[in-house]
Amino acid sequence: MSPSRHLHRTLIVSPATAPLRGEARVPGDKSISHRVLLLGALAEGETRATGWLPAEDCLATMRVLRAMGVEIAHESATTVRVRGVGLRGLQEPEEILDCGGSGTTMRLLLGILAGQPFTSVLTGNAALRRRPMGRVTAPLREMGATILSREMGGREKAPLAVRGMTLTPMDYEMPLASAQVKSALLLAGLFASGESTVREPGPARDHTERLLRAMGVALRVAGSHVTIAPPSAPLRPLRGPENTPYSIPSDPSSAAFPLVAATLVRGSEVRLTGVGVNPTRTGFLDILSMMGASIQQSHSADATIEPTAYIRAQGTELNGAEIGGEVVVRAIDEFPILAVAATQAAGRTTLRDAGELRVKESDRIASVAQELRKMGVSLAEREDGFVLDGPARLRGASMDSHMDHRLAMALAVAALLAEGESRIERAEVIDDSFPDFVELMRSLGAEMRWEDEIL
């Protein structure tokens, strides 16, 4: 297809007429797949990882690293080899680094680029160019990096130009709980002239800390403070036990879709293997169990760096819940699908403290409200959350993804519970994190099909 033409895909979903049943493995963790490439690039030696996620967002990270001279090979779609260039081995990119729609690529890369003795320019697609970058650029400037950005509506946006250098160590109190900000600053800390500390207001995912430690970096965690010392020896490449490839767990954020679908479709039983259950990611399981869901986990004994579990979900009746506080950051990507769960719960569900949802791939408070309304749900928007009275009778509708992968998948699950067929326009965006979503849901018994149009 020529670059000026693109594929517009509509996902057509039929209401479930039978329970969902079966065992499946959802693809590799997106956050960890990004980090394996970024950190593997900074190591000396070869990182090998299995379970890597070949989704659009992670492919963007792969592209930008290659543009700086990092050799990355695919042994298969999900097994990658990264030839690390060391902390000082990245080359100045000749071209603008395009991060696609991936906020993680852009923000973590900013931390690395702030420490490089060269100039680089970063951009992304229209949705990424609308997202706030000041949360990362401001502290990196305090560490000494020069960063120029576009300013829109009083906020810093991409494209961004970075001129890096040896950075000044910093003790930084983050105003919001964000793993992307925390990770960017820890990565910048690798290039500082002394120890840096990051203090976070909530438990944002800690994959960067776990991986850096496994690579030999001296990193101390005390409560909500993380202190990193610039390494005196090269970073060790990532490997599993006995030099096996590092095995990336399945993404709990992807697992949430089949698990909630199984909870909501009467009589279902779905089992998922090898799901990452790092406690900074499992807030949605805590919320679902608070709502009365029947979800059991059995932890695997052999997991290294990140804990994993076998998870089984069965159909159950849910009750509404009051959601707020620290669990919100541990469930930050799961609110589109949790809102769908709330439509089927008896009583009121209230979400608070989730203002961050407004600056995700879409404004997830507004987009979820707008699309669920088309199915007959009345969801009252709040600045930092929503109020939803359930259970609601859903009707099939024609909806839009807002070019947000998690919204598209959440709507597909809602459509299983509706009366009549639903259409989700621009659902090709699902490829950003879960390219096999439709196949996996079909293998469990859901009826979904694609209708393609070349624009």
Q: How far apart, in whole angstroms, are the C-alpha atoms of residue 93 and residue 19?
A: 52
Residue in 120, 183, 263, 343 binding ligand S3P, rule: CB under 6 A: 183
For residue 103, the minimal CB distance to ligand S3P (Å) is 6
| Angle in degrees, CA 314, 315, 318, rounded to 5 | 115
318-357: which residues touch ligand S3P (CB under 6 A)? 332-333, 356
Show the tokens assigned to 225: 């403070």
412-441: which residues touch ligand S3P (CB under 6 A)? none
Nearer to ligand S3P, 215 or 264 (CB): 215
How many of the chain's residues bind ligand S3P (CB under 6 A)?
11
**Which span (75-83, 178-186, 388-396, 443-451) binds ligand S3P, by CB under 6 A?**
178-186
Q: Does 137 bind ligand S3P (CB under 6 A)?
A: no
Q: How far apart, in whole angstroms, are the C-alpha atoms of residue 183 and residue 192?
A: 14
- Tell me, letter by letter, the H, E, C secondary structure of the chain: CCCCCCEEEEEEECCCCCCCEEEECCCECHHHHHHHHHHHHHCEEEEEEECCCCCHHHHHHHHHHHCCCCEEEEEECCEEEEEEECCCCCCCCCCCEECCCCHHHHHHHHHHHCCCCCEEEEECCHHHHCCCCHHHHHHHHHCCCEEEEEEECCEEEEEEEEECCCECCCEEECCCCCHHHHHHHHHHHCCECCCEEEECCCCCCCHHHHHHHHCCCCEEEECCEEEECCCCCCCCCCCCHHHCCEECCECHHHHHHHHHHHHHCCCCEEEEEEEECCCCCCHHHHHHHHCCCEEEEEECCCCCCCCEEEEEEECCCCECCEECCHHHHCCCCCHHHHHHHHHCCEEEEEECCCHHHHHCCCCHHHHHHHHHHHCCCCEEEECCEEEEEECCCCECCEEECCCCHHHHHHHHHHHHCCECCEEEECHHHHHHCCCCHHHHHHHCCCCEEEEEEEC
Within 13 A of 352's CA, how many CA atoms are on the CB side? 7
For residue 406, the minimal CB distance to ligand S3P (Å) is 8
Q: Does 178 bind ligand S3P (CB under 6 A)?
A: yes
Residue in 47, 105, 116, 180 binding ligand S3P, rule: CB under 6 A: 180
Q: Does 179 bind ligand S3P (CB under 6 A)?
A: yes
Residue in 33, 104, 282, 367 binding ligand S3P, rule: CB under 6 A: 104
Q: Which of 206, 251, 333, 436 is catalytic?
A: 333
**Which span (41-49, 159-167, 177-185, 344-352) binds ligand S3P, by CB under 6 A?**
177-185
| The one-letter amino acid at 132 | P
Nearer to ligand S3P, 251 or 400 (CB): 251
Nearer to ligand S3P, 31 or 196 (CB): 31
For residue 36, the minimal CB distance to ligand S3P (Å) is 12
Q: Does 280 bind ligand S3P (CB under 6 A)?
A: no
Give the count of beta carbons closer than 10 Å to the beta carbon of residue 400.
Answer: 20
For residue 37, the minimal CB distance to ligand S3P (Å) is 12
Whether residue 432 lies in the annotated active site? no
Q: Does 256 bind ligand S3P (CB under 6 A)?
A: no
Nearer to ligand S3P, 104 or 349 (CB): 104
| The one-letter amino acid at 353 | D
**Which span (61-69, 175-183, 225-233, 303-311) binds ligand S3P, by CB under 6 A?**
175-183
For residue 394, the minimal CB distance to ligand S3P (Å) is 26
Q: Does 31 bind ligand S3P (CB under 6 A)?
A: yes
Q: Does 109 bind ligand S3P (CB under 6 A)?
A: no
Nearer to ligand S3P, 183 or 367 (CB): 183
Nearer to ligand S3P, 9 or 34 (CB): 34
Query: Per-residue x/- mask for ligand S3P, residues 190 to 219, rule CB under 6 A?
Result: --------------xx--------------
Q: Is the CB of residue 221 less than 8 Å from the CB of residue 209?
A: yes
Nearer to ligand S3P, 209 or 333 (CB): 333
**Which span (71-79, 173-181, 263-271, 320-328) binds ligand S3P, by CB under 6 A?**
173-181
- Interacting residues with ligand S3P (CB under 6 A): 31, 104, 178-180, 183, 204-205, 332-333, 356
Q: Which residues are catalytic?
A: 333
